[in-house]
Structure 1
Amino acid sequence: MKNIWKVYVLALISFLVGTSNYIVSGILDRIAETLGTSVAAAGQLITVYSLAYAIGTPILMALTAKMDRRKLLLYSLGLF
């Protein structure tokens, strides 16, 4: 039972990392204003990120298939 808190912390961190990307859509108009572009052009930032994430995730999973999953999760969260 003493290691159960580690699972909850990792789950919380994974949730926060995953949902933090959606914050950009909430402040997209401000990002566009700061960059001096239209909202549609700034919205492409979300599209490019999503595509890179969708394409890169299976590739990285295949490359790291033999690693210990707990260590891999910790390293990737630390890198992020």
Structure 2
Amino acid sequence: MNMRLVIFSGMIMMIVGTIAGLGASKYSEKQYQCCNIGPALDLGYSQSRAPRTYALAGATMGFIFGSTLELVRQSTPQEAEK
């Protein structure tokens, strides 16, 4: 079993998961309900969704999914019998 390939696959999927997490945080922004409530720098959107949390969650899930997928792909029927 090639562990370099397993780690590489996990890292590539981690990058994809990070991008997906950042996209999800951007997509989940909500507009303010009232125009008078907001921070001094009004961007027009609520900043309550933490993009770092979404990015870390996506990266973690991507690494686990990518590594597991590569491990399953590399396993042979002979190893499954042992």
TM-score tier after normalising by the smaller chain length: 0.3 to 0.5
Flag the structure with more relative contact order, 1 or 2, with Cα contacts below 8 A and sequence separation at least 6. 2
After TM superposition, the score normalised by the length of structure 2 is 0.34
After TM superposition, the score normalised by the length of structure 1 is 0.35
